[in-house]
Amino acid sequence: MSGTGAPQAQRDDPGPGTAVGSEASRVVMDADQIARACARIAHQILEANRGAEGLVLMGIPTRGVPLAYRLATVMDDVEGVRVPVGALDVTMYRDDLRQHPTRPVGHTELPVEVEGSTVVLVDDVLYSGRTVRAALDALGDLGRPRVVRLAVLVDRGHRELPIRADHIGSYVPTRTGEHVSVRLAEIDGVDQVSIEPADHVPEEA
């Protein structure tokens, strides 16, 4: 599995003069593996919660939202219950707002009151933990859930805060400079997780 599974030429040409350290990107999860990971995470969430009672899935935009919907679909197949899915934008709660030009704000949507429910935050990649920290603050302003859990498709390590995920699709060891690119069919037209080399700077962080 060394870059052969990339069906689209979406990868940027590194360009001339970037030969040093510019290895090709590696695919670490293909569509089947992503589907299996989602199915397993959905089962784990149901098991930990002893059913779908009181569950709310909150995806963190951009790619956490379609992932949350996928988990809900699996749960529907398993339990026959439609678990409410929402979106939780964390932009305004980030601790690095002042380090960048004004960031565009995503959509927040609360499907039900979170008060007293079991909220599962869903994101694509867990890295520094700062997004999750922001998400916990954002969630706290919307109500007081009974329990908050975290499900991620990829844990790439390098935490900067004492945060861990409850449900992980795949643990992917990376180097700090590398970029983990998660592409999902709903947004990118293809299901794939790849590691881009350090000199590759995609627009979506």
Partner 1 sequence: MRHLLSAADLDRNQTTEILDLAEEMSLVQERPVKKLPALRGRTVVNLFFEDSTRTRSSFEIAGKWLSADVINISAKGSSVSKGESLRDTVLTVAAMGVDALVIRHHASGAPWQASRWIDAHVLNAGDGTHEHPTQALLDAFTIRRHFRRTVPDQVSFDGKTVAIVGDITHSRVARSNVLLLTTLGAQVILVAPPTLLPSGIESWPVLVCTDLDQVLPRADIVMMLRVQQERMSGGYFPTPREYTIGYGLTRPRLEAMKPGAAICHPGPMNRGLEISADAADAANSLILGQVAAGVSVRMSVLYELLGGSE
Task: Verify binding: residue 4, partner 1, rule CB under 8 A.
Answer: no
Task: Verify binding: residue 175, partner 1, rule CB under 8 A.
Answer: no
Task: Verify binding: residue 50, partner 1, rule CB under 8 A.
Answer: no
Task: Verify binding: residue 92, partner 1, rule CB under 8 A.
Answer: yes
Task: Verify binding: residue 203, partner 1, rule CB under 8 A.
Answer: no
Please report how close the Cβ of residue 137 comes to partner 1 at its closest, in angstroms. Answer: 7
Task: Verify binding: residue 101, partner 1, rule CB under 8 A.
Answer: yes
Task: Verify binding: residue 107, partner 1, rule CB under 8 A.
Answer: yes
Task: Verify binding: residue 32, partner 1, rule CB under 8 A.
Answer: no
Applying CB under 8 A, which of residues 82, 103, 164, 175 lies at the interface with partner 1? Answer: 103
Written in H, E and C, the secondary structure of the chain is CCCCCCCCCCCCCCCCCCCCCCCCCEEEECHHHHHHHHHHHHHHHHHHHCCCCCEEEEECCCCHHHHHHHHHHHHHHHHCCCCCEEECCCHHHCCCHHHCCCCCCCCCECCCCCCCCEEEEEEEEECCCHHHHHHHHHHHHHCCCCEEEEEEEEECCCCCCCCCCCEEEEECCCCCCCEEEEECHHHHCCCEEEEECCCCCCCCC
Please report how close the Cβ of residue 135 comes to partner 1 at its closest, in angstroms. Answer: 13
Q: Give contact residues for partner 1 (rule: CB under 8 A).
A: 89, 91-93, 97-108, 137, 140-143
